[in-house]
Structure 1
Amino acid sequence: MNLDLVSIIVDDYDDAVAFFTGVLGFDLVEDSPSTTNDGRPKRWVVVRPPGGRTGLLLAQADGDEQRAAVGRQFAGRVGLFLRVDDFDAAYGRMTAAGVEFVTAPRSEPYGRVAVFVDIAGNRWDLLGPPGQLSPAAGTGPAER
């Protein structure tokens, strides 16, 4: 048994695909035409980190209630966690690509961490192995 997909509500399929593949480096696993439960057209769009098992289903908001949930799926808390082998390299690449980090990198017992927001406004932890400490990185606690 494994967790296959987690859905993220986004404003636009193409913008979200561009962010997750072009900025974060995820693979586009599937982008197929589909229909809503009541027969309207939509797309089935799945992205996944290279080598990862769990993917993200990018679901374009449909209606006012879903549009209001874009970027608020976790009530302002960190709700997604991206673990990388080399924190400093990933942080540098993401910063250069324009990813918005809302906390400075810091060390925690479980690893290096900094909070960033995705294209929809959801908060993520970028996580690296414990003990990775860059002299240029901050280490103080930050508000999530």
Structure 2
Amino acid sequence: MKQVIGAITLVVPDYDEALAFYAGTLGFGVIEDTRLNETKRWVLVAPKGSTETRLLLARADGDAQAAAVGNQTGGRVFLFLHTDDFDRDHGAMSAAGVTFLEAPRTEPYGKVAVFRDPFGNKWDLIEHAAR
């Protein structure tokens, strides 16, 4: 039996603003962008080379969802972007204006640095140590 998490919802203030960051700045691929009605779209993005888990960019609907934008995990790191070349991706992301909250550091599990998306969500950029 095999199961995978197909998508994780990321509540954002605006579809196009989120696409500008995730597809534009980070270079994620747009898997799907389908208009469902006048105000709702089904927008899936994923890092280049990713084959399983996607991010569903969901525009906040109402005050409770708007309040959760950027703080869906209460201030903890929310998502983990694994890379095969930390220095390459950290350099490219820094040059593109991504806000890193710390200098890169080496941990027993690999090289890591926390960055923030424009909405306040914290991410880890991680290159796992060779095992």
Instruction: Tell me the TM-score normalized by structure 1.
Output: 0.84
Contact 1:9–1:60, Cα closer than 8 Å, also in 2:
yes
Q: Report % sequence identity.
A: 54
Larger Rg, first or second structure (1 or 2): 1
Show the counterpart of 2:36. 34
Pair 1:56 & 2:63 matched? no
**SS of the residue 1:93 aligns to:** helix
Match of 2:17 among 15, 20, 24: 15
Structure 2 CA distance for aligned equivalents of residues 34 and 55 of structure 1 = 18
Q: 1:41 to 1:12 in 2, by over 3 A?
A: closer
Residues 9 and 120, structure 1, Cα contact 8 Å, conserved in 2: no
Q: Give the whole-Å Cα distance in 2 for the aligned partners of 1:120 and 1:41.
A: 20
Q: Post-superposition shift, 1:96?
A: 0.5
Two-structure CA RMSD over aligned residues (Å): 1.2
Listed as ranges, the gaps of 5+ residues in structure 1 are 132-144
Quote the offset at 1:120 in angstroms: 1.6
Does the CA contact (< 8 Å) of 1:4 and 1:55 recur in 2?
Answer: yes
Q: Would the aligned equivalents of 1:107 and 1:130 in 2 still touch at CA under 8 Å?
A: no
Aligned to 2:123, the other structure's residue is in SS state strand
Amino acid at match of 1:11: P
Alignment partners' CA distance in 1, 2:84 and 2:110? 11
TM-score w.r.t. structure 2 length? Answer: 0.93
After TM superposition, the runs of 4+ consecutive aligned structure 1 residues lying more than 4 A away are none
1:110 deviation in Å? 0.8
